[in-house]
Structure 1
Amino acid sequence: MPSEIQLTESERKLILALHKKNKSHREIATKIKRSKTVVTHFLKDPLKYGLRKRTGRRKKVDERTKRLIIRTASNKTISCANIVNDLCLKMSRWTINRVIKRSNILKKMKKKHSPALTTAHKDLRLSWAKDHMIWNNEWHKVVWSDEKKFNLDGPDGFSYYWHDLRREEEIFSTRPLGGGSVMIWASFGWGGKSSICFVDGRMNAKGYQEVLKKHLIDIGSCMGGSDWIFQQDNAPIHRAKVNLAWFKSKKINVLPWPSLSPDLNPIENLWGILARKVYSGGKQFRTKEQLKTTIIKSWEEISIEQLRALVKSMPERIFEVIKLNGAKTKY
């Protein structure tokens, strides 16, 4: 139980006065509406009452050990049990877990998948970044594009949550191959975004060209201005000779792009925004039509301010690539 509030000055004087009249501790306690224990403690030594420091129970983990635990766990795949063993600590893994949770520094996250970069890849990324390091408003001309897969059962990978032991466990239902999926293509720029294109089956070079005819050509200037620049990654169907010739015939300026560089493409972050909207609250879908309807609705909800914030991030992305000599960035 919590300790009682200390006696006030007037209460102390009243206790002493009643004590001089030979009143019992119980009678005094009743009179001042306090517990008999408080009265007894006070009368044992009135001069020192309230001066003793209440130290409380000694902490299991001192501040130095807490810092050591957090430093050991930081950005590593290591269990709490292994931290106990590695640091030779005399405490349980549950104590380690509490220290990490209360740190407000570490957060349990899924690892992001990212392609492995060779020295050649890093050199190309660095060279590309240096070629575009002085760009500023030029990024307003770029129309960013990409494909993205959405599963009926939710995003790829595991779904983590903090379970309340007082409630039933959350069940994340899954079906073979995610219960089915839909593939979309879209683009965006400083001036806005395209409509969502749902791709049926496996897309080839000719099919990709048809997507661009229907969802890009007529609105490219709306997204990037009259002299807009088209961005695409180096997927085989994107770089097919038939499509490169088509870009040239349509006088579409294509932005040179370094291989294995999703972190340089702000549309990857736009997919993250869209996925969070589509799967908010752990949502899952019974049919592809339900999923498609939600994707379209969520895509329409993305504001021009969000799009422009992503475009504005390009100078910082360029700076990060140069600073890291072409290595992967935080984006």
Structure 2
Amino acid sequence: MGRAGQLTEYEQGSALAFSKAGWSIKRIAAALGRSRNVVASFIRSPETYGTHYVSRKSTKVSEWARRQTVKHASTTGCSARQLKAYLPLEVSLRTYQRILNQAAFLQYTKRQHAPKLQQRHKDARLKYAEDKLTNPPDWDIVVWSDEKKLNLDGPDCLQYYWHDHRHKKDQLFTRHSGGGSCMIWDAFSSHRKSEIAFLDGSQTGDKYIDTLSNYIYARQRQHSLFQVDYGVFGHLALSPDLNPIENVWGVLARQVYLNGKQFDSVAELKVAIKHEWENISQNYLQKLIRSMPKRCVHVFQAKGGKTKY
């Protein structure tokens, strides 16, 4: 068998001459002392012979590799780049990204902020859930209240949107000193909601009593707001999932800062807050309150741990 390897220029010239003379591949190979495959490759395409071409690795991924990639992303939340460094698969970063994008139940999103629960918090949450499931209160007469700060630039100045590459990118301005903000308070029950209260400074005990007097007790006689015998309904620390007003804050903030809205003054911000608070329907508030038994079930099932709420 003749030698393999690329033909020299002299051999290429000889092979062309022999071929034009009508010699067969076998005869040319024998005359040059080269393999028939090498000679045939040259005769087939003399113009491109010797051009080095490295084909790309096949990006075809086995079903096992796909399952491993999706499973690991689901259980760890790793990014495509982290998966490439961790998993022993000979595929490109882009292939990892494509596998994750094609998984119908995966979505790359921000992690939700949640308080860190110590064991004592979990124990208290579990007891709360057990108590409320064993001796359920009349959730319709519970008044939910809380305070929240909103600023001019939006929540934490973090804004995300789908950018159309045909247009200029949206810009989000920030103020050096953080701009202004306002502290708000509100309350609601299954029957009514209070007006938004705009607070001055931090809420001390005396100020909180004034807020209750102005926005709940004073309106009780005028509008039959919260017609209940007032008592303390204990609430747990680090348990926003057991306080439906946290859901209300989320809806309110999304509407106030809709489409990346920012404000030039606190007065303008207050107008927007009041408008969006008035647009929150009583039906929505009732739906949140009616979810309390289910929330307690989820806390019980999680043994006091975090829930989807």
Query: Matched residue of 1:182: which SS?
Result: strand
Q: Partners in 2 of 1:84 and 1:224 — Cα distance?
A: 57
Task: Give secondary structure in 2 for the equivalent of 1:218.
Answer: helix
CA contact (8 A) 1:190 1:311 kept: yes
Are the structure 2 counterparts of residues 59 and 79 from structure 1 closer, same or farther at C-alpha, using a change threshold of 3 Å? closer
**Partner of 1:133: helix, strand, or coil?**
helix
Question: Match of 1:267?
Answer: 245
Change in 2 beyond 3 A, CA 1:60/1:163? farther
SS at match of 2:170: coil
Larger radius of gyration: 2
Give, in whole Å, the separation in 2 of the partners of 1:110 and 1:157.
15
Could you tell me the percent identity over the aligned residues? 42
1:93 to 1:299, Cα distance in 2 relative to 1, 3 A: same
Amino acid at match of 1:282: G
Contact 1:190/1:223 (CA < 8 Å) preserved in 2? no
Q: Is the 8 A contact 1:187 1:193 kept in 2?
A: yes
C-alpha displacement of 1:105: 1.5
Q: Which residue of 2 aligns with 1:53?
A: none
Matched, 1:305 2:283: yes
The alignment of Structure 1 onto Structure 2 pairs a total of residues equal to 250
Q: Deviations over 1:158-209 (max 9, x none)?
A: 3233433333222222223542211100011101211000112222221111
Matched, 1:142 2:142: yes
Q: What's the CA shift for 1:258?
A: 2.1
Q: Distance in 2 between matches of 1:257 and 1:206?
A: 20
Alignment-mate amino acid for residue 159 of structure 1: Q
> What is aligned with 1:327?
305
Partner residue of 1:61?
61
Amino acid at match of 1:196: I
Q: Which of 246, 249, 257 is the matching residue for 2:235?
A: 257
User: Which amino acid in structure 1 is aligned with residue 205 of structure 2?
Assistant: A
Confirm or deny: 8 A CA contact 1:185 1:196 kept in the other structure: yes
Give, in whole Å, the separation in 2 of the partners of 1:114 and 1:97.
28
Moved over 6 A (4+): none
Q: SS where residue 146 of structure 2 aligns?
A: strand
Deviation digits for residues 93-150 of structure 1 (CA, Å, limit 9, x no counterpart): 2332233233231223222222222222211111111111146671001010001111
Alpha-carbon distance in structure 1 between the residues aligned to 2:308 and 2:250: 14
Distance in 2, Cα, partners of 1:177 & 1:326: 40
Counterparts in 2 of 1:169 and 1:98: CA distance versus 1, 3 Å:
farther
Distance 1:258 1:281 in 2: 34
Task: Return the alpha-carbon distance in structure 2 between the equivalents of residues 75 and 163 of structure 1.
Answer: 30
Aligned partner letter, 2:189? G
SS at match of 1:148: strand
Partner of 1:101: 101
State the TM-score, normalizing by the size of structure 2.
0.74
- Cα-to-partner distance string for 1:72-103 (whole Å, 9 max, x where unaligned): 22264523111112112223223322332332
Is structure 2 residue 50 aligned with structure 1 residue 72? no
Distance 1:325 1:107 in 2: 27
Q: 1:295 aligns with which of 273, 280, 286?
A: 273
Aligned residue for 2:150, secondary structure, equals strand
Aligned CA RMSD, in angstroms, stands at 2.2
1:160 is matched with 160
Paired residue for 2:296? 318
Aligned equivalent of 1:214: 214
- Secondary structure of 1:150's partner? strand
CA drift at 1:303: 0.8
1: CA distance between counterparts of 2:205 and 2:133?
A: 32
Residue 110 (str. 1) matches residue 110 (str. 2): yes
Instruction: Tell me which residue corresponds to 1:235.
Output: none
Greater displacement, 290-299 / 91-100: 91-100
Is the Cα–Cα contact under 8 Å of residues 152 and 264 in structure 2 kept in the other structure?
Answer: yes
Secondary structure in 2 matching 1:198: strand
**Which amino acid is 2:129 matched to?**
A
Distance 1:157 1:282, change over 3 A: closer
Measure, in 1, the Cα distance between the counterparts of 2:60 and 2:148. Answer: 49
Q: Which runs of 5+ in 2 are unaligned?
A: 1-57
CA distance in 2, matches of 1:96, 1:161: 24
From the superposition, tell whether residues 219 and 71 of structure 1 become closer, same or farther in structure 2 (CA, over 3 Å): farther
2:280 corresponds to which letter in structure 1?
Answer: I
Is the Cα contact below 8 Å between 2:145 and 2:185 reproduced in 1?
yes
Structure 1 residues 163, 323: CA separation in 2 closer, same or farther (over 3 Å shift)? same
Q: Distance in 2 between matches of 1:262 and 1:220?
A: 27
1:240 alignment partner in structure 2? none
